[in-house]
Amino acid sequence: MEHALLYVSLSILALIWILPFVTVLLSALRSQGDLFSRGVFALPEEIDWSNFTEAWKTGGFEIYFRNSLFLILVKVPLGILLASLAAYPLAKLQFRFSMAVFVFFLLGLAVPVQVTLQPLLVMMKQLGIANSLWALIPPYVAFGLPFQIFVMRGFFRLIPSELIECARIDGASELVIFRRIMLPLSVPALATLFIIDSQATWNEFIIALVLVSSKASRTVPVGLLQFQGEFASQYTQLMAGIVISIAPVIAIFIFLQRFFVSGLTQSAVKG
Amino acid sequence: MKLRFFTKFDAATVKIWTPIVEAYEKQNPNIKVTMETVAGSGAAIYPDVLRTSMAAGDPPDVFFMWGGEVAGPFIDAGQVMELGALYDKHGWKARMTPWTVDAITRNGKVWGVPYNARGMGFFYRKDIFAKYKLAEPKSYAEFEQICATLKTNKIYCASFGGKFGWHPMRLLDYLTETACGPEVHNQLNRLQASWDIPCAVDAYGRLKKWVDNGWLVPDFLSVTPADARMPVYLGDAAMIIEGDWFEFVVRGDKQPTTNLDFFVPPTGHQPLRYSAFPQQWMVPAKAKNPDASAQFIDFITAPATQKQFPAAFTASATIGIEPDCKEWPITCKWRQIITTSRDIYPPTDQAFTKELMDGFFEVQSGIIAGRITPADGGKMMQARAEAWKASKK
Amino acid sequence: MTGLRSASGTGALGWAQDRTAWMFLAPAVLVYCVFLVYPMLSSLWISLFKWDGMSAEMKFIGGENYWRIFLEDEVSRKALWNNLLWTLAALLLPTSFGLALALALDTKLKGVVVFRTIFYGPGVLPLVAVGLIWSWMYNPHFGAVNTILKMMDLRHLTRGWLSSYDTALAATFVTYLWSHVGFPMVLYLAGLQAIPRDLYEAASLDGATALQRFRHVTLPGLKETHVIVLSLAVIHALKVFDLIYTMTYGGPGRETQVLGTWMYFQSFQYYNAGYGAAIAWVITAIILLIAIPYIRHMTKT
């Protein structure tokens, strides 16, 4: 009986929770005229896909998607590699200042992006990559390191040291140990980080807003906001643009949910 | 070779400019023009994106700009190329309606090539006016009467979108011109008169009256200016302050324009001034290829080009380019006014730089929301003006 | 990189291990220092100047920017206040909501995964999209919120949620709640599942009621999770930018400005780079106050 009550309340709450999605999706599938005449909660009489095609081509999402994907494909593996390399000594090698270095990285979690923006802008100009996607990669990697190092270090520590000692006795160098033992045994953690980092990269807004101004280099969030300006009163197209922007992340989330969850719980484990 | 063309065009305008760009590319097969836009927010966000690209050392090759103090900071920071030499080379002076060049001259030099000369007034629904037997007002008192009549018939007098401040600003500008007259309005814009003088406070008071009397569509402070058109389209509001471009916009929204007309609002002062501003093309000081930029500007301001693509040039500064009065009757009517009457005042956001302007908007919003009294508003605005002047030393 | 080494890492072989360690660390340390630490310190330097962010001239003014933030600029103080309100709300609402959901989902209900997906889902979306979705919900004419109120015959409650000085910040926070409740929920779920079941059984055997079991087994068992959830809640809340920028743009007026957005306006719209940097450092300092104890706690082995 108690359970039934719980179930019902949760279900009602869940329905309220999905309401925004449903509203947006419904609005995206209709024509503007239909929206005006029948209000926001009517089901589409006929499904109007033109909102999506308009948003994709004219709206520029074709470009924005390409850019965000490019960033993910380059930045995510790079960042995780750097983090894993750094996590290995922090987890398994005894050296001075090990804890200090670890804390040094962890403090990065506290840094708000705003405090780096102006100097980054100047730096990118001096490096000659200003206003391009390349300008986003170094700060993205840097800001991702604290969390990734934390997770990888935690995971590496769980790998039995005997394995490593044996390898050393057999004459393996640390690099070989890293490649042949640490990485393969950490695939769950790596997969988790890969997915979480991809999602974070897709969603990042303020650095992309400040460092990149040309349309050809816009990422999805910045492009979406710009799209809203261009199509200001074409609500249904705006809704389509929103759906396009979130579809990949939602799809990945629904099918790979456990990675997100495990990533969170990893970060919760004391290190 | 790539040419980056940076504008604030919305989707509909981009559509009509694409053939122009393509025509240029056809004439110059080795040049590829990319059109980039920052749209929907007017002069609120576009200049920031432009400035960021300049700060990054990667400015566009040709860019759109308003006049006055929107262009001012860029010119003063040395980010814009002075075009005197290019004017001589391409003979632009002879091509442009003279006062348009004067309007964009700063410190005695010319920094851009005129694109448009725009004017603003109250657009209204003819059918609503006809229904309640209303006529275009000849005095401010008559105007208030119109609003009162509409109110009793449950129609909002005017619709505004307050999100970036500059849309309701148009109403406040009109009220300031009416309350203070041309001379003092100019002084206020130059910060030579204090904003807490009686007539300015009166202007704020009139703004408050419009809000309190329910003459404006309510809850509009977060609405974007584009969204403000909705109530007019739906017949919930009778008027909206827009400019000579509005006929094109309404058609782009797939709404009928036969139902619309406009009037220049009465101020009760001589001369009767209206709000107007220039728009121009500029070249960045650090342009990668100034000649290519100049060539492109030459193309888009040439009479031949503009005659070929009339829809894009309905308010052109180029001599001899007039809108097709059969196809664009309202625009044509505006054109008459703009070319004959040069009694204009700039919208305040072209008189003040962004930081001061945001202070202005803060006061404006506060009065609209009823959180600041007109008297306090005047004091606050003056305090902001003083602080800004002090920080510029 | 040599093979054999001693376990203690000291002595001649220890140096070798040091060097190896640093070679592994080098790439990450390099990127981190150049693109995070250095810009941070550079901002600190900039905050002591009056500078427009572009021209070559910078005027040294010492701590004047900081003085302005706390004592002269009304908007900065309003922003600070809004940050405080927002952070307090973030400390209480998404967290307790998340805990409640976690408790509800910790049972062996069918379809727990579905619920978890629904409540956590909003958290994976780009905040710009979340902001635009909810701006649509709050649209005075077509928005779901006002439409539902009208359907429930509560027309008098409809309003411009984001337009009104009284409701703009709160309305934006509701959006934050929607997207940030999943995070504590998942953390608490993990924390709940880590509490040994026999503690509950023992308590039941002793005759404890559900409430007593909650107070004496659950809550203490969640202490660790509380620390994490609350610290992260505060840190995230202080960084808020995307939602406010997208939904209200700091308005109406300057009513919903927070330090994160005010910094952006100052540096990138008004060209007061020095002042903006100072605001950014105020945010950083506040976050560090919370983060340092948290990190120390997390690294106690």
The series of mean pLDDT values per 10 residues for chain C, 301 residues long, is 45 65 93 96 94 82 92 92 96 94 82 88 93 90 87 85 91 96 90 84 82 84 87 92 92 91 92 93 94 83 53
Write the residue in A58, A122, A214 that is nearest to B11 by C-beta: A58
Residue of C nearest to A167 (CA): C3
Write the residue in B78, B219, B358 that is nearest to C164 by C-beta: B219
Partner A, chain C 210-269, Cβ-Cβ below 8 Å: 224-225, 228, 235, 238-239, 241-242, 245-246, 260, 263-264, 267-268
Strands (E) located in chain B: 2-7, 32-37, 62-66, 105-106, 109-110, 112-125, 156-158, 237-243, 260-263, 274-282, 344-345
Instruction: Measure Cα distances from C126 to A222, C54, C86 in Å.
Output: 10, 31, 20
Cα B352–Cα B357–Cα B360 angle in degrees, nearest 5: 120
pLDDT in tens, A54-71: 888 877 898 999 999 999
Clarify whether residues B265 and B351 are in a common domain. yes
Of A179-183, B220-224, B338-342, C14-18, the one with minimum mean pLDDT is C14-18
Q: Do B230 and A215 touch (CB under 8 A)?
A: no
Range of the domain at B294: 2-117+278-339
Clarify whether residues B81 and B193 are in a common domain. no
Q: Do B10 and A230 touch (CB under 8 A)?
A: yes
DSSP string computed for C43-110: HHHHTTEE--SSSS--EE-TTHHHHIIIII-HHHHHHHHHHHHHHHHHHHHHHHHHHHHHHHHTS--T
Q: Do B57 and A230 touch (CB under 8 A)?
A: no
The pLDDT assigned to A263 comes to: 74
Give the residue from B306, B324, B339 where a domain finishes: B339
Task: For B31, list phi and psi in degrees, rounded to 5.
Answer: -115, 135
Q: Which residues contact C271 (CB under 8 A, 6 or more apart)?
A: B51, B73, C52, C53, C54
Clarify whether residues B103 and B73 are in a common domain. yes
Local confidence band at B289 (pLDDT 50, 70, 90 cut-offs):
very high
Clarify whether residues B130 and B246 are in a common domain. yes
Considering only residues A5 and B365, tell me which one the structure prediction assigns the higher pLDDT: B365
Local confidence band at B97 (pLDDT 50, 70, 90 cut-offs):
confident
Clarify whether residues B242 and B144 are in a common domain. yes
Partner C, chain B 317-336, Cβ-Cβ below 8 Å: none
Contacts of B34 in chain A (CB under 8 A): 215-216
**Contact, B67 vs B103, CB < 8 A?**
yes
Cα B166–Cα B172–Cα B177 angle in degrees, nearest 5: 125
Q: What total of structural domains would you count in chain B? A: 2
Write the residue in A130, A213, A230 that is nearest to B39 by C-beta: A230
What is the distance in angstroms between the Cα of B17 and the nearest Cα belonging to chain A?
13
Best residue in C31, C33, C222, C267 for a mutation probing chain A (most A CBs within 10 Å): C31
DSSP one-letter code for B266: P
Clarify whether residues B189 and B249 are in a common domain. yes
Task: For B158, list phi and psi in degrees, rounded to 5.
Answer: -145, 160
Number of H-type helices and E-type strands within chain B:
17, 11
Q: Please state at what angle helix C273-298 crosses helix A114-127, rounded to 10 degrees.
A: 110
Q: Do C298 and A270 touch (CB under 8 A)?
A: yes
What is the distance in angstroms between the Cα of A112 and the nearest Cα belonging to chain C?
6
Is B249 within 8 Å of chain A by CB? no
Which fold is adopted by the domain C64-300? MetI-like fold (1.10.3720)
CB-hemisphere CA count at 13 Å for B278? 27
Q: Could you give the CA distance from residue A169 to residue B91 in angstroms, rounded to a whole number?
A: 83
What ipTM goes with this model?
0.90
In this structure, what is the dihedral angle of CA atoms A102, A108, A110, A116, given to the nearest 10 degrees?
160
**Contact, B83 vs B111, CB < 8 A?**
yes
Contacts of B42 in chain C (CB under 8 A): none
Could you state, in order of their start, the residue ranges of all structural domains in chain C? 1-46, 64-300
The pLDDT assigned to A168 comes to: 87
Give the residue from B323, B339, B355 where a domain finishes: B339
Mean pLDDT of chain A: 88
The pLDDT assigned to C54 comes to: 75
CB count, 10 Å around CB of B128? 19
pLDDT in tens, A19-68: 999 889 988 988 877 777 777 777 777 788 888 988 888 778 989 999 99
Clarify whether residues B236 and B334 are in a common domain. no
Q: Could you tell me the CATH number of the domain that includes residue B10?
A: 3.40.190.10
Instruction: Measure Cα distances from C77 to A248, C69, C70, C267, C289 in Å.
Output: 40, 7, 6, 17, 19
Q: Do A230 and B34 touch (CB under 8 A)?
A: no
Based on the number of CB atoms within 10 Å of its own CB, is A16 exposed (0-12), middle (13-18) or buried (19 or more)? Answer: exposed
Clarify whether residues B215 and B99 are in a common domain. no
pLDDT in tens, A203-227: 999 999 988 888 888 999 999 988 8
Clarify whether residues B323 and B371 are in a common domain. no
Exposure letters A105-120 (e unless 16+ CB within 10 A, then b)? bbbbbbbbbbbbbbbb
Clarify whether residues B138 and B70 are in a common domain. no
Q: Do B253 and A233 touch (CB under 8 A)?
A: yes
What sections of C239-272 are H helices per DSSP? 242-247, 259-268
Give the residue from B339, B365, B382 where a domain finishes: B339
Model pTM above 0.90: no
Q: Do C17 and A94 touch (CB under 8 A)?
A: yes
Q: Do A232 and B10 touch (CB under 8 A)?
A: yes
Clarify whether residues B326 and B350 are in a common domain. no
The pLDDT assigned to A271 comes to: 41
Considering only residues A180 and A260, tell me which one the structure prediction assigns the higher pLDDT: A180
Write the residue in C140, C141, C165 that is nearest to B369 by C-beta: C165
Clarify whether residues B132 and B207 are in a common domain. yes
Tokens of residue C203, six digits = 């308590």
Contacts of A175 in chain C (CB under 8 A): 1
Q: Do B221 and C160 touch (CB under 8 A)?
A: yes
Partner B, chain C 153-192, Cβ-Cβ below 8 Å: 159-160, 162-165, 168
